[in-house]
Structure 1
Amino acid sequence: MEKVRINLINSLDFYNKCLLGNVNENSLRYGLMQPMKTMWDYLNVPLKTTQPNGYDVVMASEMLGIWTPRKSTQQVKDNLPKLIESKIFDEYQEVILKGIHEFEKIDYSIPLKKIDVNILLGDEESQEMKVNKGYSGFGGIPGYIMLMVIPNDFNKKRLKSALAQEFNHNVRFTFEPFNYGDVTVEEYLVLEGLAECFAEEMYGKELIGPWIADFDKEEMAYSIEVIKEGRKTKGFGEVSAYMFGDGIAKKRGFNPVGLSENAGYTIGYHLIKQYLANSSKSIAEATLTPTEEIIRVSKFFD
């Protein structure tokens, strides 16, 4: 099998320059984000807008909860040492290699020559970060992974698990591409459930994300019924209401559907657990299985 090269974007250099007062928005554009330009191009995000206050990589970063030079450098002073202490800058390669090995065990050669990893400080003012206990990630474009962190005692021990999730997204999208305009609730449930179960397989249930809620029997049954009714719904905005719940839906301008926070992530996780039990497949094999087959074999909505 051809080896996948793992490349770490040098965000530490960027943040150290921040502490010296030597960065601005262009430093973020052309220093921190330029190496991931192919990813941003795919998302139709220019490195720099041609319009005053227009949409570009700085604005997109802020929407994702990433710290930018528009915010106080005190955040960098406070959080960079804690992010370094988490050891994720030392352990990121181990995580990806461990993930690759899971697929080597089923003789699957990941069709990527390189994976760029960008470990970034989150913005303390970001609602995205607050909702997710100070950490999040993006692995929606194969070959690129971003991990955004406001380090704290809860998330510092979960960063390897979070990175494993985003790696699983990378692999899943090489098999079944994600179309933001046409994505269905079913596809999104399967996507996130696979990633969470993959991370659980690698690092244990105690380190799964806070977005997997411990629903009681009544709320689980209710959530399944709401999602079952809307599982063929298409379009990222419409689908997001099912995944993120009413609170986030209202804040982002989506129509709420009557679900609690991150309900889709919880249901997706349990859907995949049921599929794995019914199919006797490994999580790596499940990652390379069509959504329709996973839904059918799981019998989750029957």
Structure 2
Amino acid sequence: MTITVLDTYSAMRRILLAPAADRADLLRSMLEPVAGMYRYFPGEVDLVAMHRQSSGFPIDRDEERCLAALETLAEAGAWDRIRRALDEGLALQLEATPELDVQDITVLFLLGDPADEHFMGPCLGVTGNGGIPGHIVITLWPFPENVARLEATAVHELHHNLRYGPGEVVWNPMTVTVGEHVVSEGLADAFARQLYGDDLGRTRIGVPHQDDDAVFAKVLTGLGVTGMENFTAWVHGDPSAERFGVAPVGLPMGAGYAAGNRLVDAYLAATGQTAAQALRADSTKVIG
């Protein structure tokens, strides 16, 4: 199998420097390699519109700010670091599960929108999507904390890709529970922590509530909830729920990540497994 980290540095620079009238077509061309991640969406997806809705960098303003951020990432060696991290993460996973059938993965690394208050505020300038096998998308603003965590962010999304790969854990939109989503985030963080340590490996939005017993108890009450439209509130928290028009449930940003880490830590301690060995762990057993 092959992990391809697309050269989005060159593509984004070209877009940001192009005449405004040409940018949408250039953006669409850059996004086309990951169009397959929307294969389960009803109807045809407008890639440019999806980019805007997902806090991707703007193509009608903030050009200088985005170009400067792009150079910050280039100077940090972001693309090479992500590529090496994914190779290292895959090697670690295959050592633990050598029979794993891994398909080709295409990685799209993007700048986020510096004027998106939700992305820059509650999301802390980083989002990722690795749950659709074969594709990883990371959207990021180069705050120093995010640049330091590039590797951990990449392998977190890799873990999702491998957990839900062909023949592995099935994510059935009709029956999947909040519990599965929460556990998957905890396992992905545990995998990143196995590689890079606790300080870098935990997803930032979950860290403030890691030891909050009240938040943990509240998340536990929702683990049996089904219906993916409810997951944002229970996993990401009220700020994201409100952003996407979902009813809030009284949880802070990243609550599900914090709870997932606690559940997974207890499971790994009880079983003596590493995060890599627990790739396929049944979420109901992790929850206990």
With the length of structure 1 as denominator, give the TM-score of the two structures.
Answer: 0.86
Please state whether the residue corresponding to 2:221 is helix, strand or coil: helix
1:74 to 2:64 alignment? yes
Q: Please name the residue that 2:180 is paired with.
A: 187
1:196 to 2:189 alignment? yes
Amino acid at match of 1:99: G
1:154 to 2:145 alignment? yes
Aligned equivalents of 2:60 and 2:280: distance in 1?
41
Aligned equivalents of 1:166 and 1:204: distance in 2?
16
1:242 to 2:263 alignment? no
Aligned counterpart for 1:293 among listed residues 280, 285, 288: 285
Q: Please name the residue that 2:265 is paired with.
A: 273
Q: Please name the residue that 2:245 is paired with.
A: 253
Distance 1:241 1:11, change over 3 A: same
Please state whether the residue corresponding to 1:287 is helix, strand or coil: coil
| Contact 1:40/1:57 (<8 A) preserved | no
Aligned equivalents of 1:71 and 1:135: distance in 2?
20
Post-superposition Cα deviations, 1:135-163, rounded to whole Å, max 9, x if no partner, equal 22111111111111111222111111100
Distance 1:216 1:10, change over 3 A: closer
Aligned counterpart for 2:34 among listed residues 33, 36, 59: 36
Matches within 5 A, 1:98-177: 98-126=88-116, 127-174=118-165, 175-177=168-170
Q: Please name the residue that 1:300 is paired with.
A: none
How far apart are residue 248 of structure 1 and its match? Answer: 2.5
Give every structure 1 segment of 4 or more consecutive aligned residues whose post-TM-superposition deviation is greater than 3 Å: 42-47, 179-182, 214-217
Distance 1:188 1:216, change over 3 A: closer
Aligned counterpart for 1:14 among listed residues 7, 11, 16: 11
1:26 to 2:16 alignment? no
Aligned equivalents of 1:18 and 1:256: distance in 2?
37
Aligned equivalents of 2:171 and 2:65: distance in 1?
34
Q: Please name the residue that 1:53 is paired with.
A: none
Distance 1:293 1:101, change over 3 A: same
How far apart are residue 283 of structure 1 and its match? Answer: 0.6
Amino acid at match of 1:256: P
| Contact 1:10/1:32 (<8 A) preserved | no
Post-superposition Cα deviations, 1:37-72, rounded to whole Å, max 9, x if no partner, equal 22233344735xxxxxxxx21121122111142443
Q: Please name the residue that 2:47 is paired with.
A: 57
Distance 1:216 1:134, change over 3 A: closer
| Contact 1:45/1:57 (<8 A) preserved | no
Amino acid at match of 2:205: W
- Count of residues in Structure 1 that have an aligned counterpart in Structure 2: 282
How far apart are residue 101 of structure 1 and its match? Answer: 1.4
With the length of structure 2 as denominator, give the TM-score of the two structures.
Answer: 0.90
Please state whether the residue corresponding to 1:165 is helix, strand or coil: helix
Please state whether the residue corresponding to 2:205 is helix, strand or coil: coil
Aligned equivalents of 2:210 and 2:234: distance in 1?
18
Distance 1:276 1:173, change over 3 A: same
How far apart are residue 181 of structure 1 and its match? Answer: 4.5
Aligned equivalents of 1:226 and 1:9: distance in 2?
40
| Contact 1:58/1:68 (<8 A) preserved | no
How far apart are residue 19 of structure 1 and its match? Answer: 4.2
Amino acid at match of 2:12: Y
Post-superposition Cα deviations, 1:206-264, rounded to whole Å, max 9, x if no partner, equal 112211234386xx332233222221111122222111222322332222222222111
| Contact 1:238/1:254 (<8 A) preserved | yes
Aligned equivalents of 2:191 and 2:60: distance in 1?
36
Amino acid at match of 1:209: T
| Contact 1:86/1:157 (<8 A) preserved | no
How far apart are residue 81 of structure 1 and its match? Answer: 0.4
Q: Once superposed, what is the RMSD of the aligned Cα atoms?
A: 2.0
Please state whether the residue corresponding to 1:283 is helix, strand or coil: coil
